[in-house]
């Protein structure tokens, strides 16, 4: 019986390793000074040790509990020598037993039993401390021991869903951010190249501009294409037959767009009338591109690019409105500058009631009409 009891108590005592470094004097002091050795439970000496040590620790650390708390227990006399001997025995045994064995429960239980209170520290670490009736176990699920996981499968599924959703959202955000960054980088590059080219004309150009009170446009010959007296008109071609011509058109168009000035492009390959008026104005069979500003002939690609390099190009646009719609194509022609003739559906031919066909009078040779919105 005693051995059984002792074994039971040993179990309880195992977690109390610090007992090993408790000094003999301290134990004795406690016994003598507090006088509660007499008050402890009789038979199991070790039982007396447990609460005693616990109590002392608690008193030292928390200075809350009074050791005399246990006074109401059955008083007994404990032989100090016995106590010490058992202590040593216990230490030896402790060395033999697996030290790493987790055995927190009994300690907490001992504490709770002793003080009759649940302290915060021990709460949750051992369910023994609270009566079962106090635990709300209605929401607990009995774990299925055959299952691969002890978690609620519904909970796991919900968690997986949440993780997937989170990954999907963050992936979308990442993609959107990359796209946005790319767009911004492109815009920055475009603006930088625009500034490099135009925002700061060479010093020489600025000096010319400042020194010259006369409008620099007056230095160019007066050759006004139809409707071009107060605007910018660029004759171009969209035919790629002659590569140089096509590329020259593109470079002047790019310059004008980078200035954001309002200009009208007349594609001679789309509209013979444009070619004819160009040849007439310049008095010769010239090739595009040809640029006119405010009724004056600036030149072809070579002249324009040279002016631009000298910083004498931008000043020519004084008084020309900014194209607020630049970058957003015309609603009428989508930037094409022509629309299909609605009269002949682009065939440039109309069939009369008597069966005779004739040329459509509304459109050009290609069955197109110049866009009424943007040109």
Binding site for Zn ion (CB under 5 A): 330, 332-333, 341, 343-344, 360, 362-363, 371, 373-374
Cβ contacts of residue 46 below 8 Å, gap of 6+? 6, 9, 10, 13, 86, 90
Dihedral Cα 306, 269, 326, 298, nearest 10 deg: 30
Task: Report in angstroms how near the CB of residue 365 gets to Zn ion at its nearest.
Answer: 10
Question: Cα(260)–Cα(268) distance, rounded to whole angstroms?
Answer: 23
Bridge partners, 338 (sequence order) = 370
Question: Cα(369)–Cα(363) distance, rounded to whole angstroms?
Answer: 5
Task: Report in angstroms how near the CB of residue 234 gets to Zn ion at its nearest.
Answer: 15
When the beta carbons of 270 and 374 are compared against Zn ion, the nearer one is 374
The pairing of beta strand 338-340 with beta strand 368-370 = antiparallel
Task: Report in angstroms how near the CB of residue 194 gets to Zn ion at its nearest.
Answer: 24
Which residue in 199, 302, 167 sits closest to 248, CA to CA? 302
When the beta carbons of 147 and 342 are compared against Zn ion, the nearer one is 342
Instruction: Decide: 149 and 156 in contact? Cβ < 8 Å.
Output: yes
When the beta carbons of 276 and 331 are compared against Zn ion, the nearer one is 331
When the beta carbons of 286 and 330 are compared against Zn ion, the nearer one is 330
Task: Report in angstroms how near the CB of residue 280 gets to Zn ion at its nearest.
Answer: 24
Q: What share of the chain is helix, strand, coil (3-state, %, to 5)?
A: 50, 10, 40
When the beta carbons of 33 and 356 are compared against Zn ion, the nearer one is 356
When the beta carbons of 170 and 345 are compared against Zn ion, the nearer one is 345
Task: Report in angstroms how near the CB of residue 235 gets to Zn ion at its nearest.
Answer: 17
The pairing of beta strand 263-267 with beta strand 232-236 = parallel
When the beta carbons of 170 and 361 are compared against Zn ion, the nearer one is 361
Instruction: Decide: 19 and 96 in contact? Cβ < 8 Å.
Output: no
Task: Report in angstroms how near the CB of residue 262 gets to Zn ion at its nearest.
Answer: 13
Q: What would the two tokens of residue 315 be? A: 């000043």
Task: Report in angstroms how near the CB of residue 288 gets to Zn ion at its nearest.
Answer: 19
Question: Cα(178)–Cα(189) distance, rounded to whole angstroms?
Answer: 16
Q: For the chain, how far is it from start to end, CA to CA, in angstroms? A: 113
When the beta carbons of 135 and 373 are compared against Zn ion, the nearer one is 373
Tell how far CA 131 is from the center of its chain. 50
Which residue in 123, 87, 89 sits closest to 108, CA to CA? 123
Task: Report in angstroms how near the CB of residue 236 gets to Zn ion at its nearest.
Answer: 15
Tokens 């008084």 map to which residue? 319
When the beta carbons of 84 and 350 are compared against Zn ion, the nearer one is 350
Task: Report in angstroms how near the CB of residue 202 gets to Zn ion at its nearest.
Answer: 36
Q: What would the two tokens of residue 259 be? A: 């200035």
Task: Report in angstroms how near the CB of residue 332 gets to Zn ion at its nearest.
Answer: 4
Question: Cα(362)–Cα(200) distance, rounded to whole angstroms?
Answer: 47
Which residue in 297, 302, 301 sits closest to 284, CA to CA? 297
When the beta carbons of 286 and 326 are compared against Zn ion, the nearer one is 326
Question: Cα(189)–Cα(197) distance, rounded to whole angstroms?
Answer: 12
């Amino acid at each position: 019986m005693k051995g059984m009891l002792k074994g039971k108590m040993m179990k309880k005592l195992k977690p109390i390793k610090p007992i090993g470094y408790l000094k003999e004097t301290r134990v004795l002091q406690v016994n003598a000074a507090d006088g509660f050795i007499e008050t402890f439970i009789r038979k199991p000496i070790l039982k007396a040790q447990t609460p005693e040590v616990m109590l002392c620790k608690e008193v030292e650390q928390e200075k809350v509990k009074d050791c005399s708390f246990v006074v109401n227990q059955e008083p007994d006399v404990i032989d100090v020598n016995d106590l010490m001997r058992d202590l040593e025995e216990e230490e030896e045994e402790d060395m033999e037993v697996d030290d790493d064995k987790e055995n927190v429960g009994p300690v907490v239980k001992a504490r709770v039993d002793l003080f009759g209170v649940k302290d915060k520290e021990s709460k949750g670490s051992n369910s023994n401390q609270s009566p079962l009736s106090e635990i709300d176990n209605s929401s607990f699920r009995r774990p299925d021991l055959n299952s691969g996981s002890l978690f609620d499968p519904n909970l796991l599924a919900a968690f997986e869903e949440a993780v997937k959703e989170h990954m999907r959202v963050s992936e979308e955000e990442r993609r959107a951010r990359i796209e946005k960054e790319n767009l911004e980088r492109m815009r920055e590059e475009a603006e930088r190249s625009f500034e490099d080219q135009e925002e700061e004309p060479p010093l020489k150009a600025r000096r010319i501009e400042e020194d010259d009170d006369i409008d620099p446009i007056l230095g160019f010959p007066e050759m006004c294409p139809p409707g071009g007296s107060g605007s910018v008109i660029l004759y171009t071609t969209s035919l790629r037959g002659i590569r140089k011509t096509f590329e020259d058109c593109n470079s002047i168009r790019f310059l004008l767009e980078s200035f954001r000035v309002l200009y009208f492009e007349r594609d001679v390959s789309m509209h013979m009338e444009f070619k004819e008026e160009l040849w007439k104005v310049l008095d010769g069979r010239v090739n595009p591109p040809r640029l006119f500003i405010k009724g004056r002939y600036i030149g072809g690609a070579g002249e324009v690019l040279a002016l631009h390099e000298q910083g004498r190009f931008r000043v020519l646009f004084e008084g020309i409105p900014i194209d607020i719609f630049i970058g957003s194509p015309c609603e009428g022609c989508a930037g094409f500058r022509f629309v299909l003739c609605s009269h002949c559906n682009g065939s440039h031919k109309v069939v009369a009631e008597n069966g005779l066909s004739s040329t459509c009078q509304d459109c050009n040779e290609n069955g197109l009409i110049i866009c009424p919105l943007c040109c």
